[in-house]
Amino acid sequence: MAAAKLTGNAVAAAMAGDTNLKPVVQVVDLRSIAVTGAPGSGPRFRAIISDGVATGHALFASQLCDLARSGVVRRGSVVQLLDYIVNNVGPTRNRKAIVILNMEVLVAECEIIGNPALPPESGDSSSNSLRADQFNGAPPNGSMAGSTLNKVIKPSDNAPVIQRSMTGNSLNMVPRPSDNAQVFQPTVQPSYRPAPKYRSHGTIMKNDAPARIIPIPALNPYQGRWAIKARVTAKGEIRRYHNAKGDGKVFSFDLLDTDGGEIRATCFNALVDRFYEVVEVGKVYVVSRGNLKPAKKDYNHLNNEWEIFLEPQSTIELCLDENSSIPAQRFSFSSIDKIENSENNAIVDVIGVVTSVNPSTTIQRKNGMEAQKRTITLNDMSGRSVELTMWGDFCNREGSQLQEMVECGAFPVLAVKAGKVNDYSGKSVGTISSSQLHINPDLAEAHSLRQWFDCGGRDASTQSISRDFTPSASWNEVRKTVAQIKDDGLGMGDKPDWVTVKAAISFIKTDSFCYTACPNVIGDRQCGKKVTKSDSGNWLCDKCNQEFPECDYRYLLQLNIQDHTGTTSVTAFQDRGQEILGCSARELNIFKENKDPRYTDVLINCLYQNYLFRLKVKEEQYGDVRQVKNTVAKVERVDPLAESKFLLDSISRFIP
């Protein structure tokens, strides 16, 4: 843990009566004081605080005792005193003690800073007890004014007998007469100078006081005033939303510090206007003040349980003279063969050589909006390849650059930060709003891949873990007939079986080929749950608890497919349904409602045509009945050339 910066001359200034200082000090000794004489009374705590040079005595008000009792404050903790009083103590009232009424924990524990000398009394641990009536009459804010506090330390040959009485804010210390009696002497301190004030210079707040920089992993909600120094590694677009409180907007950015700690910062509404143009990817800032809340792991992939929500008093200071001590990005790469075993929607970093780039296409997303999509293939030294799907601006930015490089015979290395795994019919990786793509990055992993590919990896055989979007039909390898699905007992195990069936569509259930779906987009996903008409005429989603003037339409096709061995039923959802019928569910529903002849044409055109169906076969529970369900994971019209090659390869296996 890096040492925190303590407020210079803090003890002297506080003892001099400056209760507006709010100094940063360190707890160098902490002991409990038992309270007796009242049911349910818990221990109180006394401490020795240090500014790195001088030390002084302090008492915790009752409302702060839980911090010490739970271990949030302990020996070595660095705290900021926000509210306290100073009492005159001693026989001649020339010594003082601090009663802490409110404080903030800045660093839970670190090495003792400086070389502070403990007062002689701090070494005595005997008779640490108080009577309950000695706390009676204390004001609600926890101060000790008007209360009585007595403490007697057991006599010894070399320790003083100290009796404290805080009646009318006084503390009397009576040393035991002996030859070795310890005498407390006031510490001589340099003259106190108040810390510089903070000045506002517009959107970026310049802080003239030395910033107390702490590592990102040390951040916790118990801290009040803190500062981190970190590089912005990613910045999201401004997103607009609507909820019960009205319309709003939000954006987030990711921070990385020199210790490798990462955290996301989020701004809402007015703070979006204040900070969006200020924050730039790649630059280093000192960020201070903000509210730490648990990170929502559905949308926040960083390895941190907290997320910073900036507030009006938050500041962001640009570090113009920052060197390269903070890396530009932090990766945790997974090899492609490991991605094959990753869970669906897992967030991974992957690096590979780009071996093919498909043209960018425009598709209609589930929310009815059009989007750019581009797919590329990545290979690595594990002998596996994976499909990477780019969305949105990635297609025309990095995608176009990669396409030009591959067409010119250069096969660049691509590092993907924060890609999302999709396990629908194999494993693939897709970009999300917080993803980053780095072409030919200056990384050790990239240099190793470059050397491997140029020295033979280019010609090495690879196996795709993704659904195949090229003419080669690698997913034909597990070919079954319709009859074999039942005869081989497929889908009866703990995991689904994946098979490819060559068959024709013989029947389409048309009375309910689609359903009305929620159009609301949450993060990168559409809700898609079934919606119903409300009394107001809008569409109501029970999951989102919102109403919408328009709904989406999604395919839920029930089909019968058949080959020379038999017939079976299959289910095709949205994307697969659109691939089979060649139009969206919304369009087909309009054709049906308007009695448009194109409705019949669409259905007839796909009947009795040969398709290759990639099926997910799994037994499912329907009430009290268990039934094997066949779900279409991929479908395409049979390509005569690819099918001929497959049949010839199958025949060759039987030739000795």
Residues 486 and 376 placed together within one structural domain of the fold: no
Please indicate, yes or no, whether the overall pTM of this predicted structure exceeds 0.85. Answer: no
pLDDT surpassing 80 at residue 357: yes
**Reported confidence tier of residue 210, pLDDT bands at 50, 70, 90:** very low
Average pLDDT over residues 554-563: 92
285 within domain boundaries: yes
Residues 504 and 623 placed together within one structural domain of the fold: yes
156 vs 432: which has the higher pLDDT? 432
DSSP states of 239-275 as a string? EEEEETTEEEEEEEEEEE-TTS-EEEEEEETHHHHHH
Digit-coded pLDDT (tens) for 166-206: 333 333 333 343 444 333 333 333 434 444 444 444 444 44
Average pLDDT over residues 560-576: 92
Alpha-carbon separation of residue 637 from 426, 501, 557, 581 (angstroms):
19, 12, 17, 11
Other beta carbons less than 10 A from residue 347's beta carbon: 18
Residues 620 and 483 placed together within one structural domain of the fold: yes
191 within domain boundaries: no
141 within domain boundaries: no
Q: 325: which 2 tokens?
A: 């001590």
Other beta carbons less than 10 A from residue 332's beta carbon: 8
Number of domains in the chain: 4
143 within domain boundaries: no
Other beta carbons less than 10 A from residue 221's beta carbon: 11
Share of the chain above pLDDT 70, in %: 78
Residues 632 and 604 placed together within one structural domain of the fold: yes
Q: Mean pLDDT highest for which of 338-347, 379-388, 644-653?
A: 379-388
Q: 272: which 2 tokens?
A: 């979006």
pLDDT surpassing 60 at residue 162: no
Average pLDDT over residues 272-284: 91
pLDDT surpassing 80 at residue 45: yes
Residues 535 and 609 placed together within one structural domain of the fold: yes
Helix (H) / strand (E) element for 372: namely strand 370-379
Average pLDDT over residues 609-632: 87
Spell out the residues 6+ positions from residue 474 whose beta carbon is closer than 8 angstroms to its own.
463, 464, 468
Q: What is the pLDDT of residue 307?
A: 93
For residue 67, the domain's CATH number is 2.40.50.140
Q: What is the pLDDT of residue 381?
A: 92
Q: What is the pLDDT of residue 630?
A: 92
Range name among 61-75, 178-192, 335-349, 506-520 with the lowest pLDDT average: 178-192
Q: What is the pLDDT of residue 390?
A: 92
**Reported confidence tier of residue 116, pLDDT bands at 50, 70, 90:** confident
Q: What is the pLDDT of residue 169?
A: 35
Backbone CA torsion sign across 127, 128, 132, 137: positive
**Reported confidence tier of residue 308, pLDDT bands at 50, 70, 90:** very high
116 within domain boundaries: no
Q: What is the pLDDT of residue 150?
A: 36
Average pLDDT over residues 479-505: 89
How far is 79 from 73, CA to CA, in rounded Å?
A: 8
Q: 432: which 2 tokens?
A: 């999300």
Residues 446 and 562 placed together within one structural domain of the fold: no
Q: What is the mean pLDDT of the chain?
A: 78
pLDDT surpassing 60 at residue 614: yes
pLDDT surpassing 80 at residue 655: no
Helix (H) / strand (E) element for 57: namely strand 55-60
The label of the residue with tokens 């970093």 reads 349
**Reported confidence tier of residue 260, pLDDT bands at 50, 70, 90:** confident
181 within domain boundaries: no
Of 107, 127, 142, the domain-final residue: 107
Of 283, 318, 353, the domain-final residue: 318
Residues 486 and 568 placed together within one structural domain of the fold: yes
Of 433, 464, 495, the domain-final residue: 464
Residues 259 and 225 placed together within one structural domain of the fold: yes
Residues 340 and 313 placed together within one structural domain of the fold: no
Average pLDDT over residues 256-284: 91
**Reported confidence tier of residue 25, pLDDT bands at 50, 70, 90:** very high
Residues 442 and 541 placed together within one structural domain of the fold: no
Q: What is the pLDDT of residue 365?
A: 61
pLDDT surpassing 70 at residue 95: no
Instruction: Give the CA dihedral 484, 489, 492, 497, nearest 10 degrees.
Output: -30
34 vs 531: which has the higher pLDDT? 531
The label of the residue with tokens 């040079």 reads 53
Average pLDDT over residues 533-559: 88
189 within domain boundaries: no
39: nearest Cα among 103, 133, 148, 117: 133
Which domain range does residue 641 map to? Answer: 479-648
Q: What is the pLDDT of residue 89?
A: 54
Digit-coded pLDDT (tens) for 432-465: 877 889 999 989 999 999 999 999 888 887 788 8
152 within domain boundaries: no
380 vs 434: which has the higher pLDDT? 380
Residues 295 and 357 placed together within one structural domain of the fold: no
Residues 309 and 422 placed together within one structural domain of the fold: no
